[in-house]
Amino acid sequence: GLSDLYLTKCQRPFIDLIPNITFDQIRSAVEKNGCNINLLKANEITIELLDLALKTYGRALQHFKEQDRTYERCVIAVSQDGTSIVFVPRVLINLELCKIAVVQNGACINDVIAFIPEHVRNEYYTLAVTSNPYALQYIPDDCITESMCCIAVEMRETTTLRRRLSENRLYHPVHCVLDFIPERFLSNRIYRKYLLYNSYIAELPRQLKNKDFLVEILRNNIDVFGKILNEFIDRDMCLFVVKSRNKAAIGRIPSSFIYHSLFFILYDALDIAYDLWEQESMDELKIMCESNKEISKFVGYLYMIRNRSPQAVPDIFKTNKVMMLLHENIPFEMIDDNKYKTLERCISACMGYGGS
């Protein structure tokens, strides 16, 4: 049935979305997504389900009775999620478990430091920062070294990492790694290393606001473009940003640098360029579309992204590709043509995403 299809197709199914669920379906859901263990009543939880949950959800360890939290289960839990070490019985915590936790998520340094002898703590501090740069905030100031700071600023703050930091209450939007580096280490070298990989910084230091430095950083980290003052931006910078196909960076191009010849570069960028075309003449755009089929597809896609409605796309731009892309990006309930109701969209709708 549909429930079994959902369990088969979905990578992280949730049992509360399945009506009249059977034990076999619960088992399948818990095996794929251990978090489901939190949705079960106490009398529904078995050792078998807990062991399945532990493989994908280390914090399931908290649901085991104290006597069932064996060392082997604790290793599995901590290896999957270092923060689950807080549920390990104190008598089982040793240096091996501490190391596993810190390597999995440096945030755990705050939970395990009391179990680590002083003569090896610096080694564990370094492991923590290597795993999670925000672990710096939990390391005593006099123990932070320049080497640790370099490791922290060279780590790219990916979406996944930032989400993990947020879930563990280590990350707050107003902060970046630089906020936890002691002032004695905040040199131009540290800023340079950080900006080569990241752009989460409120403002560039005054001493770094020079053209040569900004061009160097931009060629290594396009995301920093939004931090560059307009007085330093020139035509070549804008062309470089457009060719990068980075939607966020393109959206920050000053209007004074948007000119007609950019269209032929933006053509390859598809949806990332739509904000720039408010200044273009519709008559001129139509002439270009009539003379070039590919440009017609491109402009149709811009209409689609802008309006997210099939009715808003002029007939001249309604190619099969544009309409398919449109229906992949609009709410499920807005799709009135069954040929666009794919299996994936139907499953997503049943899961509660993109409409019903």
**What value does the mean pLDDT take over residues 157-171?**
48
Weakest mean pLDDT among 35-44, 120-129, 219-228: 219-228
H or E, element range at 345: helix 343-351
Rg (CA), the chain: 26
Other Cβ atoms less than 10 A from the Cβ of 177: the count is 24
Give the confidence band of 279 by pLDDT, cuts at 50, 70, 90.
Answer: very low
Give the confidence band of 171 by pLDDT, cuts at 50, 70, 90.
Answer: very low
H or E, element range at 151: helix 146-153
Phi, psi (degrees; rounded to nearest 5) at 74: -65, -40
Residues near 313 by beta carbon (within 8 Å), at least 6 away in sequence: 300, 303, 304, 307, 322, 323, 326
Q: What is the pLDDT of residues 40-52, one digit of tens each?
A: 988 999 999 999 9
Q: In this model, does residue 156 exceed pLDDT 50?
A: yes
**What value does the mean pLDDT take over residues 64-87?**
96
Other Cβ atoms less than 10 A from the Cβ of 21: the count is 15
Q: Which residue has the higher pLDDT, 245 or 120?
A: 120
Write out the DSSP string of 83-142. GGGGGS-GGG--HHHHHHHHHH-GGGHHHHGGGS-GGGHHHHHHHHHHH-GGGGGGS-GG
Q: Measured at the alpha carbon of residue 140, what is the angle toward residues 136 and 141, in degrees to the nearest 5?
A: 85
Q: In this model, does residue 159 exceed pLDDT 50?
A: no
Residue length of the chain: 356
Give the confidence band of 264 by pLDDT, cuts at 50, 70, 90.
Answer: very low
Helical segments of 246-292, H only: 247-250, 263-266, 282-291
Give the confidence band of 267 by pLDDT, cuts at 50, 70, 90.
Answer: very low
Q: Are 319 and 289 in contact (CB under 8 A)?
A: no
Other Cβ atoms less than 10 A from the Cβ of 346: the count is 14
Give the confidence band of 256 by pLDDT, cuts at 50, 70, 90.
Answer: low
Q: Are 3 and 24 in contact (CB under 8 A)?
A: no
Distance CA 95, CA 316 (A): 68
Tell me how far CA of residue 64 lies from CA of 70, 94, 104, in angstroms: 10, 20, 21
Q: What is the pLDDT of residues 311-320, one digit of tens each?
A: 666 665 566 6
Tell me what percent of the residues of the chain surpass a pLDDT of 70.
69
Q: Are 236 and 213 in contact (CB under 8 A)?
A: no
Residue at 73: amino acid letter: R
Q: In this model, does residue 195 exceed pLDDT 90?
A: no
| Tokens matching residue 2 | 């549909």
pLDDT of the residue at 189: 86
Identify the three-state secondary structure at position 353: coil
Write out the DSSP string of 36-99. GGGGS-GGG--HHHHHHHHTT-GGGGGGS-GGG--HHHHHHHHHH-GGGGGGS-GGG--HHHHH
Nearest one of 134, 110, 276 to 200, comparing CA atoms: 134
